[in-house]
Structure 1
Amino acid sequence: MPDTSVPAPPLKGIRVIELGQLIAGPFCAQLLGDFGAEIIKIEAPGMPDPARGWGAAKKNGIGLYWPIIGRNKTSLTLNLREAEGQDILKQLAETADVLVENFRPGTLERWGIGPDVLHKHNPRLIITRVSGYGQTGPESHKAGYASVGEAKGGLRYLIGEPDRLPSRAGVSLGDTMTGTFAALGTMMALFSREKTGKGQVVDAAIYETVMAFIEGLIPEYAIAGHTRERSGPILPKVAPSGVYPCSDGMVIIGANQDGPFKRLAEMCGADWATDERYATHDARGDNQTELDEKIAAWTRQRPMADVLAACEEHGVPCGPVNRAMDMLEDAHIKAREAIIRMVHPVMGEIPMQGVFPKLSETPGGAVRPAPALGEHSERILSDLGKSAADIEALRERGII
Structure 2
Amino acid sequence: MANKSFGPLAGIRVLELGTLIAGPFCSRMLAEFGAEVIKVEAPDGGDPLRQWRVLKDGTSLWWSVQARNKKSICLNLKTPEGREVARDLALQADVIIENYRPGVLEKWQLGYEELSTVNPALIMVRLSGYGQTGPMRDLPGFGAIGESMGGLRYVSGHPDRPPVRVGISIGDSVAALHGVIGAMMALRHRDVTGGRWNGKTGSECIAGRGQMVDVALYESVFNLMESLVPEFDYAGVIRERTGGALPGIVPSNTYTTSDQENIVIAGNGDAIFHRLMLAIGRDDLAHDSGLVRNDGRVPRTAEIDQAIQDWCATQTIDTALARLRVADVPVGKIYSVKDMMQDPQFQARGMFEQHQFGDGQSVKLPAISPKLSETPGETQWLGPKLGEHTEEILKSLGYDAEKIAQLRGCEAI
- In which range does the TM-score fall when normalised by the shorter chain? over 0.9
SS of the residue 1:65 aligns to: helix
CA distances 1:248-291 after superposition (whole Å, capped 9, x unpaired) = 32211101122111211221122221245644423322221232
Do 2:96 and 2:123's aligned partners in 1 also have CA atoms closer than 8 Å? Answer: yes
Distance in 1 between residues matched to 2:295 and 2:182, nearest whole Å: 40
Deviation at 1:394, TM superposition (A): 1.6
Question: Residue 58 of structure 2: which of 61, 67, 86 is its match?
Answer: 61
Partner of 2:274: 262
Deviation at 1:327, TM superposition (A): 0.4
CA distances 1:172-212 after superposition (whole Å, capped 9, x unpaired) = 11100000000110111111111221111111111111111
SS of the residue 1:382 aligns to: helix
Do 2:6 and 2:33's aligned partners in 1 also have CA atoms closer than 8 Å? Answer: no
Distance in 2 between residues matched to 1:265 and 1:149, nearest whole Å: 40
2:138 pairs with 1:126: no
| Counterpart residue type for residue 174 of structure 2 | M
Partner of 1:20: 18
CA distances 1:344-386 after superposition (whole Å, capped 9, x unpaired) = 3258322222211111111111112100100010111111122
- TM (norm. structure 2) is 0.92
* Identity within the alignment, %: 43
CA RMSD of aligned residues (A): 1.7
Distance in 2 between residues matched to 1:92 and 1:74, nearest whole Å: 13
Deviation at 1:90, TM superposition (A): 1.4
Distance in 1 between residues matched to 2:41 and 2:57, nearest whole Å: 21
Partner of 1:391: 404
- TM (norm. structure 1) is 0.94
Partner of 1:41: 39
Flag the 1:150–1:273 CA change in 2: closer, same or farther, 3 A: same
Partner of 2:327: 314
2:353 pairs with 1:355: no
Q: Which moved more, 1:170-179 or 1:356-365?
A: 356-365
CA distances 1:191-234 after superposition (whole Å, capped 9, x unpaired) = 11112211111111111111111111111111111111111111
Distance in 1 between residues matched to 2:305 and 2:55, nearest whole Å: 40
Question: Residue 28 of structure 2: which of 30, 52, 61 is its match?
Answer: 30
Flag the 1:101–1:322 CA change in 2: closer, same or farther, 3 A: same
| Counterpart residue type for residue 41 of structure 1 | K
2:91 pairs with 1:87: no
Q: Which moved more, 1:15-24 or 1:303-312?
A: 303-312
Question: Residue 281 of structure 1: which of 272, 287, 294 is its match?
Answer: 294
CA distances 1:62-121 after superposition (whole Å, capped 9, x unpaired) = 222211111110100001111111111111122211110000000000111111221233
Deviation at 1:7, TM superposition (A): 9.7
Deviation at 1:322, TM superposition (A): 0.4
Flag the 1:386–1:64 CA change in 2: closer, same or farther, 3 A: same
Partner of 1:233: 244
Deviation at 1:123, TM superposition (A): 1.7
Provide structure 1 residue ranges, at least 5 long, that are not aligned to the other structure: 1-5
2:384 pairs with 1:374: no
Do 1:130 and 1:205's aligned partners in 2 also have CA atoms closer than 8 Å? Answer: yes
Deviation at 1:238, TM superposition (A): 2.0
Q: Which moved more, 1:70-79 or 1:348-357?
A: 348-357
Flag the 1:275–1:195 CA change in 2: closer, same or farther, 3 A: closer
Do 1:339 and 1:354's aligned partners in 2 also have CA atoms closer than 8 Å? Answer: yes
Distance in 1 between residues matched to 2:113 and 2:268, nearest whole Å: 53
Distance in 2 between residues matched to 1:60 and 1:246, nearest whole Å: 42
Flag the 1:108–1:96 CA change in 2: closer, same or farther, 3 A: same
Do 1:253 and 1:317's aligned partners in 2 also have CA atoms closer than 8 Å? Answer: yes
Instruction: Please list, as runs of the form range in 1=range in 2, the aligned pairs for 1:100-119 lying within 5 A after superposition.
Output: 100-119=97-116
SS of the residue 2:369 aligns to: coil
Instruction: Please list, as runs of the form range in 1=range in 2, the aligned pairs for 1:139-288 lying within 5 A after superposition.
Output: 139-196=136-193, 197-248=208-259, 249-271=261-283, 272-275=285-288, 278-288=291-301
Distance in 1 between residues matched to 2:272 and 2:291, nearest whole Å: 13
Do 2:5 and 2:11's aligned partners in 1 also have CA atoms closer than 8 Å? Answer: no
Distance in 2 between residues matched to 1:358 and 1:176, nearest whole Å: 19
Do 1:277 and 1:287's aligned partners in 2 also have CA atoms closer than 8 Å? Answer: no
Provide structure 2 residue ranges, at least 5 long, that are not aligned to the other structure: 194-207
Do 1:7 and 1:362's aligned partners in 2 also have CA atoms closer than 8 Å? Answer: no
